Amino acid sequence: MQASTYAVKGGIGFGVQKRPTLLKGFGEFGRVSLGFQMTDRTACCGLRLGSIAMEAELTGARLGATFRSSAKPRSVKAQASGDLENAASTVPQGKSSGTVLPYVGVACLGAILFGYHLGVVNGALEYLAKDLGIAENTVLQGKCRWVVSTLLAGATVGSFTGGALADKFGRTRTFQLDAIPLTIGAFLCATAQSVQAMIIGRLLAGIGIGVTSAIVPLYISEISPTEIRGALGSVNQLFICIGILAALVAGLPLAGNPIWWRTMFGIAIIPSILLALGMSFSPESPRWLFQQGKISEAEKSIRTLFGKERVAEVMLDLTTAGQGSAEPEAGWFDLFSSRYWKIVSVGVALFFFQQLAGINAVVYYSTSVFRSAGIASDVAASALVGAANVFGTAVASSLMDKQGRRSLLITSFGGMAASMLLLSLSFTWKALAPYSGTLAVLGTVLYVLSFSLGAGPVPALLLPEIFASRIRAKAVSLSLGMHWISNFVIGLYFLSVVNKFGISSVYLGFSTICLLAVLYIAGNVVETKGRSLEEIERALNPTI
């Protein structure tokens, strides 16, 4: 009864009142076809100490929607314009009186765990290797790398399963289930008496952060009011950076207490338990509840998150987005269908673009670059990079709903291209030799700062925005899964490429990739700021 009531209201509203101004805000949509092409990848950032640089990468996760003209540009353009006009909500959006911030904060415990588990092994690896007898045994030394890389393997598995779990059990229940491998993994690492136990613990923790990487941005995007969704979505990346910094700080007592590494791993148990407890009090995503036919529960969730005065507005959006579609939830093979693949491929490509933009390389070589400038402290070098990362992400959060996702991506990749060029020249241009150390430090900090302004936080925010509700959870999981796979592969072969071509040539290649990303984003990525998820869905998926 309630759903049909909203549907009637929606029918009357859309028949009488349209918003032509929506076309101005969605100008790019009107110019593009409904065939899409993807070429992006998730945002990643990281802090690295010593030789374990690849693991401290942040992903945060990140992506744009790309749309290319089809063989019939005129008819498609007209169709897209009509769909966008019809996509406008007839209920004016006001300020939310709900209480969304506490629940975003609970979800961000998952982001902190994400960053913490990525960074905790950096300072602890040398000490745990000695404690477990790895350092003295050349046979076991090969397993030391597995302590690092097993987390990435587990994260790949977790990211692919996170979407299916979120669709089946809901977002909040999936968080609670995810706390199980996170807690057990941290406990096994903290109490490990053998390298095998440590590897198992890292694998479980990896599965946990893989699930987290998929459902944190998904949940935040679905519970956030439209007018602040960009700012709240970018908070995910900010807390990942904070998690890595927390791991760095947690390692400071190691010099005086070699057994402290066990405490470092054990600390992760606390936020894992708090995440499970917090989600027991957090509202479920109203969009998931609506898809399950739980209308009264969806309304209750909306009242909590957005305020009672916006229940009709949000329910109207949900109903209109689902009108004419009695389809079941999408399966994995649906993501590869002609209906969805071109837009799903956007996520996969953005993650790939971001991975090839060089974040791992900068993080990996930051310590040696800083030492060449006379900064001998690993902690100081990592702290400077981390501070630039956190600062840039905080700035991006304040600009996300003002400047928009697309402009931040262009600015970010443009700054990364310039920084990479500066780094490359500082290694090879003889005229700059007297200033090479200073320029290298400047290039590194500017690169990380540029990355954190857009390439880091934006893709993970855009993913849930551009995917239709029917495929959202699984499509986000697929995109993040491809990120973890590319992360693992590039981490495996990166040093071989550097040894063959030299770091300067590799940096120059990264700069070129960043420039290509700028051109790609300028011509294809669509702006989504200020639009509800349902408006975006109706615009990009007119058959729904």
- Note the pLDDT tens digit of each residue in 100-143: 899 999 999 999 999 899 888 877 877 888 888 776 554 445 55
Q: Among 125, 50, 25, which residue's Cα sits nearest to residue 379?
A: 50
190 within some domain: yes
**CA separation for the pair 363, 431 (Å, rounded):** 26
296-318 tens-digit pLDDT: 999 999 999 988 888 888 888 88
Q: Of 343, 400, 340, 350, which Cα lies nearest the Cα of 520? A: 350
Residue 46: φ, ψ to 5°: -165, 170
536 falls within a domain? yes
Same domain, 153 and 268: yes
292 is a domain residue:
no
Across the range 87-94, mean pLDDT stands at: 40
Both 153 and 258 in one domain: the answer is yes
Q: 3-class SS at 373?
A: coil
User: Would you give the distance in Å from CA 523 to the centre of its chain?
Assistant: 22
Neighbouring residues of 532: CB distance < 8 A, sequence distance ≥ 6: 89, 93, 226, 314, 317
264, 350: one domain: no
Q: What is the secondary structure of 114-171 as a DSSP string? A: HHHHHHHHHHHHHHHHHHTT-TT-HHHHHHHHHHHHHHHHHHHHHHHHHHHHHHHH-H
Q: Same domain, yes or no, for 106 and 236? A: yes
Q: Are residues 373 and 482 in the same domain?
A: yes
pLDDT at 497: 82
Q: 253 and 163 share a domain? A: yes
Assigned token pair, 73: 């540009």
Same domain, yes or no: 247 and 355: no
Q: Are residues 206 and 351 in the same domain?
A: no
Asked if 382 and 45 count as a contact pair (C-beta separation under 8 A), the reply is: no
- Counting the structural domains of the chain, the total is 2
Q: If you ran DSSP here, which 8-state letter would residue 502 be given?
A: -
Q: For residues 335 and 329, is the Cβ–Cβ distance under 8 A? A: no
Structural domain that includes position 207: 96-282
**60 found inside a domain:** no
Tokens found for residue 326: 């009695």
533 token code pair: 């998820």
Furthest-apart CA atoms within the chain: distance in Å: 78
> How far is Cα 165 from Cα 179, in angstroms, rounded to an integer?
13
- The Cα 533–Cα 98 span in angstroms is 18
Sign of the torsion angle spanned by Cα atoms 394, 397, 398, 404:
positive
pTM greater than 0.75:
no
Same domain, 127 and 220: yes
For residue 297, the 8-state DSSP code is H
Q: Which helix (H) or strand (E) covers residue 400, if one does? A: helix 378-403
Q: What is the pLDDT of residues 491-508, one digit of tens each?
A: 667 777 878 888 888 889
Name the residue with tokens 């100081």: 380
Which pLDDT tens digit goes with each residue over 331-352? Answer: 778 788 777 787 787 777 777 7
Look up residue 221 and give its amino acid. Answer: S
Residue 444 backbone class (left: φ over 0; alpha: ψ -120 to 50; beta: rest):
alpha
If you average pLDDT over each of 479-483, 515-519, 528-532, which comes out highest?
A: 515-519
How far apart CA 303 and CA 353 sit, in angstroms, is 39
* Residue at 8 is within a domain: no
Residues 122 and 262 in one domain: yes
Average pLDDT, integer, range 207-212:
94
Q: How far is 460 from 64, CA to CA, in rounded Å? A: 9
Q: For tokens 């998150």, what's the residue?
A: 305
Looking at residue 436, which CATH number applies to its domain?
A: 1.20.1250.20
Q: Is 16 within the bounds of a domain?
A: no
Q: Which of 138-147, 351-360, 531-540 has the lowest mean pLDDT?
A: 138-147
- Which residue type sits at 321? A
Q: What is the mean pLDDT of residues 221-239?
A: 83
Give the HSE-up count for residue 358: Cα atoms under 13 Å, Cβ half-sphere. Answer: 35
Residue ranges in 404-435 assigned as alpha helix (H): 405-428
Higher pLDDT, 128 or 355: 128
Residue 89 lies in a domain: no
Do 385 and 245 belong to one domain? no
Is pLDDT above 70 for 55? no
Mean pLDDT of 529-535: 69
Look at strands 67-68 and 35-36 and give their pairing: antiparallel
Is residue 160 domain-shared with residue 275, that is, in the same domain? yes
Is 377 within a domain? yes
- Select the highest-mean-pLDDT range: 52-66, 80-94, 247-261, 473-487: 247-261
